[in-house]
Amino acid sequence: MEDKGLTDVDLSTAVWRKSARSGANGGNCVEVASNLPGIIAVRDSKDPDGPKLLFSPAEWRAFIGGVKDGDFDA
Give the model's pLDDT for residue 28.
Answer: 73
> Where do the domains of the chain lie?
6-69
pTM of the model: 0.77
User: Residue 73 and residue 21: Cα distance in Å, rounded?
Assistant: 18
Residue spans of the chain under pLDDT 70: 1-7, 23-27
